[in-house]
Structure formats: structure tokens, C-alpha cells
Amino acid sequence: MDIMTPRQTDILALARTQGRVLVDDLAARFNVTPQTIRKDLNELCDRRLLQRVHGGAVAGSGVENLGYEARRLIAQDEKRAIGRRAAELVPDSSSLFINIGTTTEEVARALQGRSGLVVITNNINVANLLRPEPHIEVIVAGGVVRRSDGGIVGEAAIDFFNQFMADFAVIGASAIDESGALLDFDYREVRVSQAIMANARHVILVADRGKLERTAPVRIGHISQVHTFVTDVLPSDRLARICRESGVRVEELFPDRATEPEPQD
């Protein structure tokens, strides 16, 4: 199975919020049998999204990111919508940075067919998506390529981005704290993201609501350094207030989902 079911997506979100989910509790919550829940948990664990424990499952560690292919499966529709909207904010005949991430890749996918763009990236996957485009120039950073996700990191990549001043930067983050801190797992990647933000005229943060339910140990920066935040829904009143006070424009694509009732099977 390639795509998570809505129930599995909700189970994963609960696990990230609570740290642990139990089979009997989930069966009652979703009005399905314990056997159905065990099957859901087994599939989520097979994808390394959760870890099985007696009676249920636990979320992954807050100091180690999920596998890249596993992250692609999370909130796929939301990421595509975020990617399309962020791409609309970038006019033709402009330059932009795109950093590492499954959501930033969706922005690159939505830029296919555009013209006059110069895309500067440390994301091999973004480069591969846009390389065939006849009217988009792709410039790729040099440095160490991580096998796990095709990201290019290291001092050479930092020096590379410091050579440019781009019109836009499209960045992702592994987690967003309610205080507004933007967080990630890899210190080397964070330093590259900081260089990208420092050398762009307009910074666009792309992240789904699940990033508010996660934590990570390394600080990229603060949301006040962002000009536009594109997300599916922003359920945190505190973070919304910080954005308003900091002059961050929030593009909330599905605001009604913040109050949707729990889905039933």
C-alpha cells in the first residue's frame, strides 16, 4: 500500500501528540475492531513511522527524523496543496532558493512548466524534477550528498548560497514550536537553511500542521524571519498571534479543518 488511509493519518497525528497510542483506545475512538487497529499499527511500523510496544505503539524519537520515503507518505494531499499555493507566490522571471524537504519538493513539482526561473537548490530531488524544464535554469550546490534524502550539506554548500541574493527562498522545517522557533534534526542542514534565509529577499515557509505536533533539537531560526507562511491549517492561537505581531503573512489553505469532528470508519 502506497498511501496512508485517513484513519492511519489520524493515528499517526495522535501518536505524535500523545507520544503513545493504545489498541483498545484507538478501536473505541474510531469505532473499529482491535484487529483493524493492529493492522493499521503494523503498517505504520513497517514504514518506520511508529514503533510497536505491548498494547499499542509509540512515536519516533524527537532527536532523529523519520526516513525520507516515510515522510513522503505523511499529509500527501496537504503538501501538494501547499506546494501549489507557494509556487503561485513566485512570479515568472525570478530567482529562488529551494531547500531540502518533502514539502519543498512539492513546490518544485508545481513550478514545472513555468518560464524564466532560476532555481538554486541543495536538494537533488528538486534538481531532478526541474532539470528537464526548458525555461528553468537549475543551479545545484556543491558539498556532501546525504544518501538518506539527496540533500547537499556542509561548508561548501553554505559558501555556495552566500554567493547569491535570490528573490525568494522556499524553506521547510522538521518542526515548529509554539514559541515560533523553526527546528530541524541535522546541524549541517540547519546551517545551510540559515544561509538560504539570509540571502533571500522574501522567505516562504511551507509546512503542514503536523510540524506543530513534532519536536526537533536544532534551531533554524524564528518564524519572525519569514515573510509568508503557507500551511494547510494553523490550529495554534499562540503561533498565529506571533505571526500577526511579526508581520508574517499566513496562507491557511483549509482553516475549517481546525474544528472538524473526529472521522469515523
Where do you find CATH 3.40.50.1360 in the chain?
75-254
Where do you find CATH 1.10.10.10 in the chain?
6-60
pLDDT top residue among 247 and 174? 247
The CATH class for the domain spanning 75-254 reads alpha beta
**What pLDDT does residue 53 have?**
74
Query: Contact, 92 vs 117, CB < 8 A?
Result: yes
> Which triple of cell numbers denotes residue 111?
513550478
137 φ, ψ (degrees, to nearest 5): -95, 130
**What's the mean pLDDT in 79-93?**
97
pLDDT top residue among 208 and 47? 208
pLDDT top residue among 20 and 239? 239
Per-residue model confidence as pLDDT tens digits over 7-23: 998 998 888 777 678 99
**What pLDDT does residue 192 have?**
94
| Residue 24, pLDDT above cutoff 50 | yes
Residue 57: pLDDT band by 50, 70, 90 thresholds? confident
Full DSSP string of 48-103: TSEEEETTEEEEPPTTSPPPHHHHHTTTHHHHHHHHHHHHHTS-SS-EEEE-SSHH
**What's the mean pLDDT in 49-75?**
68
Q: What is the mean pLDDT of the chain?
A: 89
Q: Which DSSP helix (H) or strand (E) runs through 170?
A: strand 166-171
**What's the mean pLDDT in 225-234?**
97
| Residue 229, pLDDT above cutoff 80 | yes
pTM, 2 dp: 0.77
Query: Contact, 182 vs 169, CB < 8 A?
Result: no
CA 41 to each of CA 14, 28, 73, 194: distance values in angstroms, whole numbers, following the listed order: 12, 15, 15, 37
**What pLDDT does residue 63 have?**
45
**6-60: CATH number:** 1.10.10.10
Per-residue model confidence as pLDDT tens digits over 163-180: 999 999 999 999 999 999
Residue 263: pLDDT band by 50, 70, 90 thresholds? very low
**What pLDDT does residue 262 have?**
40
**What pLDDT does residue 104 have?**
96
**What pLDDT does residue 65 have?**
55
**What pLDDT does residue 73 have?**
63
CA 22 to each of CA 5, 12, 38, 49, 60: distance values in angstroms, whole numbers, following the listed order: 18, 12, 10, 15, 15
Nearest to 15 by CA among 264, 218, 214, 259: 214
| Residue 69, pLDDT above cutoff 70 | no
